[in-house]
Chain A
Amino acid sequence: MSTIKSLDDLKKIREEALKKQQIKESSGKTEVIVGMGTVGIAAGARETLKAILETIEKENLSDIIVRQTGNIGLDSYEPIVQVAVSGKDKVSYGKVNPEMAQRIIKEHVVEGEIISEYQIKG
């Protein structure tokens, strides 16, 4: 990897990373983001993540990006799973256990039906 020697180098890396991100977004792939901070993990985020990956494998789904993030601060709602279907607003689900995760993949990610009873509301 080349090292960064100037602000331009930094800009180049950012632009490349942005481009990669945009390609990801415009590819029509759906992002599933699991909050993997300590609170999330303690509340069962690992099991939730496992259920998501297993469902994707079992259902033979493609074009789904699963990634992790930190803890957004809504501890009462952990584990938190966000679904970002390209071109649409992110949807946040709270207290997602493995069964719920399965439903979220099958209903929201595959069929595009938001499961409103799982959604985090203000």
Chain B
Amino acid sequence: MKAIRSMILVSSDPESMDHGALEVFSTLQKQILAHGLEEEISLSMISDVSKKSQNPLVLVYPDAVIYGSVTPEDIPHIVEEHLYKGRVVEEKQISPYDLSGRIAWLTARKGTLPAENRIVLKNVGLIDPEIIDDYIINEGYEALGKVLKEMTPKETYTVIKESGLQGRGGAGFPTGLKWQFVAGEKRDKKYVICNADESEPGTFKDRLVLEGDPHAIIEAMTIAAYAVGADEGFVYIRGEYGLAITRMQKAIEQAQEYGLLGDNIFGTGFAFNIHIHAGAGAYICGEETALIESIEGNRGEPRARPPYPTTAGLWQKPTVVNNVETLANIPAIIRNGPEWYKSIGTPSSPGTKVYTILGNVNVTGLIEVPMGITLREVISIYAKGMKDGGTFKVAQTGGSSGSIIPASLQDTPMDFDSYNKAGVSLGSGALLIGNQDVCVVDLAKVLLNFFRFESCGKCNPCRIGNKRAFDVLSRIAEGVGNLQDLVDLQMLSNQLFELSNCGLGQTAGSPLKDILAHFQAEVEAHIKLKVCPAGVCPMSGNWEHQID
């Protein structure tokens, strides 16, 4: 595929619009076409750029060159000189220091248009997953050999700790530290569990790895087992993933035949066996303690913590639970070292992240990119822009347990730290991109409907809170809400977060908080004006039929 080499942004704040930003945009479009550059340059509008009077602005990225104030007459020269010949038009250039923090970030990234960088998906889509030799040709099982022959368990978890790898299952817990906790437990039996439940709606990244590169998971789990002193492991795969289960089973058998799994791995006497456990499709069983209950044959309900699984996990033994994507990073880190891993991504969140892109964009699918790229980059570079010329309005991260993110946060680097600071979360890697036709009340309603069904019912705040929040949202969507509902939604959001027993209820309040924080006017329009600005909600004045 041809790669986009440059991204052009035109400021579109009200002041820029007054000064002809739209004409600048359309002239740029024409000039780019005239030079035949449309395949390699992406063009989009940007809001919230400037505090100063040099509007409209044109930003060229990755060079991080900013032009202002630009008129349509300037465009042919800029396109010809800069985009075609690669020479900066200095007389139109302005300093980035007058701009808002968001753009300061873009200039800090000068010269780096993020390329896809595949670590987790290195082999996926290239090798035949049912042939172990195909994996071995691609450096497979080399990391396991290195660990077993040349490293102590302590050295092993220390390398992972130093790499800065954080869990990709949603919570972002440091993986090396988790391993160290389990390694430090003096017990007769320990377990390693691979969480392949992938229960977040809209995520399918783990499935790709399981189907496309199952040996990577086996190798990583065995390395984890050696590091913590475990001799038995489980891969908990959701039952719907039939192909993943078949391929994983086949891979386990092949590894056993080669002596890479079993009682005498690499001839070292180290023993580790892996079982597959198929889940039955409950969202809550992706939560690690509910997952453990489920393997034990009990109803999938979360346990009270502490004690955490690292001290009392499966059958009360110390247990490592790691997500598929987390594990898929392990062999590469062992082979290449922690310094290499830290050179990718951002200082606080090293490595890559796999995202599934869904929604109103031109290209959906899966990408693996360095931590720290922005939503804008994802949409304009990888998703090839909004479908049918739509405007980006809202993104939903993380399957369900993520955040509703407004367009104003699209230049925030996507890593654990920056997203935390912005009050949103990355979730587990689904990116649902919505255009102007998405109603945030409806979106929140869909999410709360999901949570209300998936709540296991063990704790009251989650069981009742989700139902209550869904009812309130339904009323608003039917045009019979009142202003007290806004207060109630905020309260429910707080209580879900503070009082729920596990992550399900704790994150169920996020959509409520997010729409009140970023889209209050739109929610209020439903209540005060009795209109749904996006034209999605039924507004029928009757909500009784919603109750089931």
Query: Which residues of chain A have a CB within 8 Å of any CB of chain B?
Result: 1, 3-7, 10, 13-14, 17-18, 20-21, 35, 37-39, 41, 67-77, 92, 120-122
Q: B4, B127, B208, B260: which contacts A4 (Cβ < 8 A)?
A: B260
Inter-chain CA distance A83–B1, complex, in Å, is: 15
- Interface residues of B, CB < 8 Å — how many? 45
Known: A3-B258, A69-B125. A76 touches B267 (CB 8 A): no
A6 pairs with B149, CB closer than 8 A: yes
Known: A7-B142, A37-B208, A75-B364. A122 touches B136 (CB 8 A): no
Inter-chain CA distance A73–B267, complex, in Å, is: 37
Minimum-distance CB pairs A-B, first 6: A70-B212, A72-B125, A3-B259, A5-B267, A122-B2, A73-B366
Enumerate 22 A-B pairs (CB-CB under 8 Å) in ascending A order: A3-B258, A3-B259, A3-B267, A5-B259, A10-B136, A37-B208, A38-B211, A69-B212, A70-B124, A70-B127, A70-B213, A71-B212, A72-B125, A73-B125, A73-B208, A73-B367, A75-B365, A76-B365, A92-B1, A121-B1, A121-B2, A122-B4
A122 pairs with B128, CB closer than 8 A: no
Per-position binary interface string of chain B over residues 192-228, scored 1 when its CB falls under 8 Å from any chain A CB and 0 otherwise: 0000000000001001100111000000000000000
A1, A71, A120: which has the most chain B beta carbons within 10 Å?
Answer: A71
B133 pairs with A13, CB closer than 8 A: yes
Contacts of A92 in B (CB 8 A): 1
B266 pairs with A5, CB closer than 8 A: yes
CB of B384 to closest CB in A, whole Å: 8
B137 pairs with A73, CB closer than 8 A: no
Q: B3, B204, B244: which contacts A122 (Cβ < 8 A)?
A: B3
Contacts of A3 in B (CB 8 A): 257-259, 264, 267
Contacts of B503 in A (CB 8 A): none
Per-position binary interface string of chain B over residues 290-320, scored 1 when its CB falls under 8 Å from any chain A CB and 0 otherwise: 0000000000000000000000000000000
B259 pairs with A21, CB closer than 8 A: no
B211 pairs with A70, CB closer than 8 A: yes
Inter-chain CA distance A77–B363, complex, in Å, is: 9
Residues 98-142 (chain B) with a chain A CB within 8 angstroms: 121, 124-130, 133-134, 136-137, 141-142
Contacts of B124 in A (CB 8 A): 70-73
Known: A4-B267, A7-B149, A74-B365. 9 other contacts (CB 8 A): A10-B141, A10-B142, A70-B127, A71-B366, A72-B124, A73-B124, A73-B366, A73-B367, A121-B2
CB of B333 to closest CB in A, whole Å: 18
Query: Which residues of chain B have a CB within 8 Å of any CB of chain A?
Result: 1-4, 39, 121, 124-130, 133-134, 136-137, 141-142, 145-146, 149, 204, 207-208, 211-213, 241, 243-244, 257-260, 264, 266-267, 362-368
B1 pairs with A122, CB closer than 8 A: yes
Inter-chain CA distance A4–B262, complex, in Å, is: 12
Chain A residue, CB-CB nearest to B358? A75
A76 pairs with B364, CB closer than 8 A: yes
Contacts of B126 in A (CB 8 A): 69, 72
CB of B215 to closest CB in A, whole Å: 12
B2 pairs with A1, CB closer than 8 A: no
Chain B residue, CB-CB nearest to A18? B137
Q: A1, A20, A71: which contacts B125 (Cβ < 8 A)?
A: A71
Chain B residue, CB-CB nearest to A5? B267
CB of B390 to closest CB in A, whole Å: 16
B259 pairs with A4, CB closer than 8 A: yes
B128 pairs with A69, CB closer than 8 A: yes
Inter-chain CA distance A37–B207, complex, in Å, is: 9
Inter-chain CA distance A17–B137, complex, in Å, is: 7
A7 pairs with B145, CB closer than 8 A: yes
